[in-house]
Structures are given as structure tokens and as C-alpha cells.
Amino acid sequence: AKSAEIKTDVSEVLNISHRGASGHAPEHTILAYQLGEDMQGDYIEIDLQMTKDGELVALHDETLERTTNGTGLVKDYTLAEIKKLDAGSWFNEKYPDKAKKEYVGLTVPTFDEVIEKFGKDNKYYIETKSPEVYPGMEEKLLEKLHKHGLVGKDKEASNAIVQSFSPESLKKMHELDKNVPLVQLLWYEDESKLATITDEELKKYKEYTIGVGMNFAPIDKTYVQKVREHDLEIHPYTVNEKEDMKKLLEWGVTGMFTNFPDRLEEILEES
């Protein structure tokens, strides 16, 4: 028999500020994170890279070119060197209609600085990026999560979710500490083809995660419902248009990553 549709409780849907409110301000800067907070985002999404001297910094790319005035690999520079870079001017050049003087000279924040600024009662959705390039990244992150009081007595009481495309990185986190909620990221290369997910895959993810996140374009209602039947969270990325947000909510997603948390907030308020 066909099982009953699993509906979304709109009041529980997670509004995840992707790289901060990065549709409005330069991604992964304190200003972009603050804007995400002001726009009622529930979680601040942080991508992590590691410097030559082992500091965790908030940057999406392994390289510096796209979002700073530096060049080369993050791992080849010390934190002091990274701190000299301008992480905001690129945004003004790329989006002149959204440019602001205050973005000039913004710096790359360390993980510690982000948590110190927004506090342990806030919520963070942290991605271990390129963990194979940064041995020891998981241990370092876990140590910091504990230091900042972001790990609770169980998964529900923890204020940080750790996400990764790397199952190895997540399994390592799972081995190190069972109280950190984990999300497996997935990427479907051919977005013109409908994505499917099997019970076997979902059972495998369920062993170490609370849910999955994937590019939203190739998924459909069947996909979303399948994930929910396994009692897993489903947080598609990166959803920027209101029509897509509405559609995904109707299908039953439990949260989404967006560069425009203000838009998702409006949809959630209307629902």
C-alpha cells in the first residue's frame, strides 16, 4: 500500500543562511553572517578551510582568488598572511548594484571569531571542506566545538551540525563524538536528469547522520518523501527563488540553504 504523505511542519523548517546572507553581502564575512541573523536565519552556514599554521578559517574555496585579493592555496599561507587580505571588495566589483563601502577591506574570519561574535546559543551549520587536504581537521573542529560549548548532552542539544561531501570525514566525526549531528552532502552532476535515492543508501546514511543535503534542481517529491520515510532530515541547497522554496516545502523538505534568508523567512511566515 502507498504510505501516507509526510508533511512539513513549517514552524520547524530550518532557514540556513548559506555562507551568511551571501546574496546581499560578501560570503563568509562577519557582515554577511550578521545580515543572515538580522533576516531571521536559524543557522549560520560556515565552510571551513585550514591555514598553513593549522587555523580553521571561513572560506568556501581551497584557493584565494575568487573571494579575496590573494592568490594560491589557503593551505600555503599562515593565518597572519590570510588576515591581510581583503575579502569584501570582490563583491563590489562583481555586484555593482549591491556594492557598499563597508564591504571594502573586510577580512576572512577564523572559526573562533565567528563563534565568539555570535555566541554559543546561536546555531551553526559547519562544513568540513576538502578534508583530505587538511589532515586533523575533524579533531581540531571537534575540540573547538567543545571549547565553545556547542556540543550538548545529545545530538538534539547540540548547537552545531557538521556537514560534508566526504563520508570519511563524517564517519570520523561520528567515531570521535556521537553527540554532534551530522549531515551527508550529495551532489547530482546531471541536473537535467531526475535524481533518485535508494533505501540502501538511506539506511547507510542513517548509520552516522541525521539527514542529507543535495542540489535541489534534480530532485522531486518522490525523492523528498523517500528521505522522510527513513526519518532523516532533508536540507537541499542552494535555494534562492521563492517559487522553488514553496515547491520544496510542499514536497516536505525540513530545511534549506539559501543566500536569501529574507526570502525564505517571508515564505515561511506566509505558510
- Give the nearest residue (CB) to Ca ion: 127
CA distance 252 to 233: 10
Cβ 110 to ligand G3P shortest distance, Å = 18
Q: Residue 216: name its binding partner from ligand G3P, Ca ion, none (Cβ under 5 to 8 Å by kind).
A: none
Site for ligand G3P in 127-156 (CB under 6 A): 127
Residue with nearest beta carbon to ligand G3P: 237
Least spacing, CB of residue 257 vs ligand G3P, in Å = 5
Compute φ and ψ for 77, nearest 5 degrees. Answer: -125, 145
Residues 164-193 that bind ligand G3P (CB under 6 A): 185
Of 68 and 164, the one with the shorter C-beta distance to Ca ion is 164
Tell me which residue of 144, 138, 161 sits closest to 213, measured CA to CA.
161
Spatial separation of the C-alpha atoms in residues 17 and 257, rounded to whole Å:
6
Asked whether 126 and 160 are in contact (CB, 8 A), the reply is yes
Distance, first Cα to last Cα, the chain: 30
Binding of Ca ion by 127 (CB under 5 A):
yes
Q: Are strands 56-58 and 43-50 parallel, antiparallel or unpaired?
A: antiparallel
Please report whether residue 42 would count as binding Ca ion according to CB under 5 A. no
Q: Could you say whether residue 47 binds Ca ion (CB under 5 A)? A: yes
Which residues, 6+ apart, have CB-to-CB distance to 128 below 8 Å? 48, 137, 138, 141, 162, 163, 164, 166, 169, 170, 173
Please report how close the Cβ of residue 115 comes to ligand G3P at its closest, in angstroms: 18
Active site residue 18: yes
Interacting residues toward Ca ion by CB under 5 A: 47, 127
User: Which are the catalytic amino acids?
Assistant: 18, 60
Give the residues lining the site for ligand G3P (CB under 6 A): 18, 47, 60, 127, 163, 185, 213, 237-238, 257
